[in-house]
Amino acid sequence: MHDTLLLCLGLLLVICLLVVLSQRLRLPYPVLLVLGGLAVGFLPGLPPLSISPELIFLIFLPPLLYEAAWFTSWKDFWRWRRLISVLAFGLVLLTSGAVALVSQAFIPGFTLALGFLLGGIVSPPDALAASSVMRNMALPRRFTAVLEGESLVNDASSLIVFRFAPAAVLSGAFQWQQAAGSFLLVTLLGVAVGLAVAAVFYAIHRWLPTTPSIHTALTLVTPYLLYVGAEAVHASGVMAVVSGGLLLSYHSPRIFTPANRQQSLHTWATVGFVLNGAVFMLIGLELPVIVAGLEGYSMGQALGYGALITAVVVLTRVLFTVAASPFSHFISRFIEVSDANPGWRGPLILGFTGMRGVVSLAAALSVPLLGPGGQAFPHRNLILFITFVVILLTLVGQSLLLPLLIRWIGVEDRDGHRPEAEQQSAIRHHLARTALRRLRRHYPEQVRANVLVGSLYKKLEKDLRLNRQRLHLEHDDGIEAEVAEFHRINAELLGAQRRELQLLRRREEFDDELIRRQEVQLDLEEEKLALLRAAEQADAAEA
């Protein structure tokens, strides 16, 4: 027990150090975590780590999906719904079919059903890896929106395919009509269960007298109940978590107080960091166990099969996304589409973001050891090894090549969005103007007679003038020096206030609790300044 605890704590420390190193090296952190897991897995004296698929599906998958659904923009999801649906369902089925045909043709002993099983395992891309790679790149918002939306649905479609494929392998027959009907039923029932459970939590969050800590604990419980509830009625737990998360996220301004929201965001940021880091580390740690079970094949043969399947899944996605461009142009004559002429650069980059991840590994580990008659499941160890090779080559290879591809072909923002810093200034401008308008209409006497209300009025007027000036400056060419000076002075003032606060902490006349509250206010001001600086840096990178 103590050894297990020490191992977990050691892995968490390694995860933190590798993420810090990835920031210094400007590399996507999933790459270093997987490679770090590989290195740790082959350390002498370390016991082999066998990952239970139930651990992935029940412990890791629900909160990771819920976090992704919570931070997904419903507006972007709805705008790109057709493309997301085609990628999440059509491309998954097409990739599964392509892998099935190639596997049957080139891997000895592989039947079409066995190839389709392998295709269902390796078909869903891992958007976490792609988004972490794209986070530091100057790419239009549409890429992240499509990837996030696709990741919410493609796991469900691939896992539903995986649900029927093992039975087809063992029985030698695959009934397409039954599988299609079950696919639709499982998906719709999962959505229904997700919405029903989310409605219960909506009522709890909105009408029960809870504290921020209770609210945060409920958000941690919600994804597990969504997933378990759907799986209990043989529905898609993935679709339940996605639909429930989207519903609660959309209504979060109505059901969460500011204190609840702040505490939940900070808690989920930590939980998401630990879980994401752990799953990528586990991918690397699993390799020694997979290699040890690889019997009947030489390492060269197995690597060759893995490279072949990797080429199939990458080329299928790239060709599909590039071919979708002329189709979008054609279909725009009959229906409204988000982008009638996407060109070839954007679809090519979108096609090259198909990194595979932990869902594929968990699905491969879920392949049964034995069939109903007690016979060994055919080629199970080879399926595991091929899956690992696909994950490793796409995750590491594409992550390192994607920045080079983006710099080589270049991508323009076809959506015409305003720069982030300008949007933030405009939002603050609208909010200050709304508050001033309300004070003038409803509280004119209080503005004149009440000193505090009058001070608030003057502060809002000052904020309005500052935002007007900022919006004017953001259209000038020589703004960089003024903005840099503004940030430098603002940061210096916050630092002086923090030092003064530390001096006040030593004086008996001031309560520590009040000092901590003021520290929170300074933290919020510093966070706002950091967000503003990050938005300006992103705008500069896009320019």
Q: Which residues pair with 370 in a beta bridge?
A: 376
Contacts of residue 468, defined as CB under 8 A and 6 or more positions apart, other chains included, come to: 429
Q: Across-strand partners of 376?
A: 370
Q: Calculate ∠ Cα 180-362-266, nearest 5°.
A: 105
In angstroms, the CA 497 to CA 172 distance is: 73
d(CA 21, CA 226): 36
Q: Could you report the per-residue pLDDT of 193-225, keeping only the tens digit for each?
A: 999 999 999 999 888 877 888 888 999 999 999
pLDDT score of 99 more than 80: yes
Q: What is the per-residue DSSP string for 361-374?
A: HHHHHTS-SB-TTS
pLDDT for the residue numbered 336 = 63
Give residue 534's pLDDT band: very low, low, confident or very high (50, 70, 90): low
In single-letter form, the type of residue at position 81 comes to R
Residue 315: predicted pLDDT: 93
- Give residue 464's pLDDT: 75
Taking Cα atoms as reference points, which of 452, 256, 238 lies closest to residue 362?
238
Q: pLDDT: is 438 or 532 the higher one?
A: 438
- The confidence score (pLDDT) of residue 314 equals 92
User: What is the C-alpha separation between 480 and 539, in angstroms, rounded?
Assistant: 12
Range with lowest mean pLDDT among 162-166, 365-369, 371-375, 447-451:
371-375
Q: Which residue is listed with tokens 């060709």?
A: 319
Angle of CA points 154, 158, 161, to nearest 5°: 145
Task: Tell me the pLDDT tens digit for each residue of 479-510.
Answer: 566 666 766 777 777 777 778 777 777 777 66
Place of tokens 């939980």: 271
Check: CB of residue 114 under 8 Å from CB of residue 379.
Answer: yes
Torsion on CA atoms 260, 266, 269, 270, rounded to nearest 10: -120
Running DSSP on this structure, what letter comes out for residue 87?
A: I
358 close to 49: Cβ distance less than 8 angstroms: no
Q: How far apart are CA 527 and CA 522, in angstroms?
A: 8
DSSP class per residue in 435-496: HHHHHHHH-HHHHHH-HHHHHHHHHHHHHHHHHHHHHHHTTSTT-HHHHHHHHHHHHHHHHH
- Judged against a pLDDT cut of 90, whether residue 285 lies above it is answered with no
Looking at residue 194, its pLDDT comes to 94
Calpha distance 316→351 (Å, rounded): 9
Q: All domains of the chain, ordered by start, with CATH? A: 2-409 (1.20.1530.20), 420-542 (no CATH)
The pTM assigned to this predicted structure is 0.76
Q: Mind listing the pLDDT tens digit for each residue in 223-267? A: 999 999 998 998 888 889 989 998 998 888 788 877 777 788 888
CA 445 → CA 434, 453, 456, 458, distances in Å? 18, 10, 14, 15
Q: What angle do CA 245, 525, 486 make, to 5 degrees?
A: 125
> What is the pLDDT at residue 360?
80
How many residues in the chain? 543
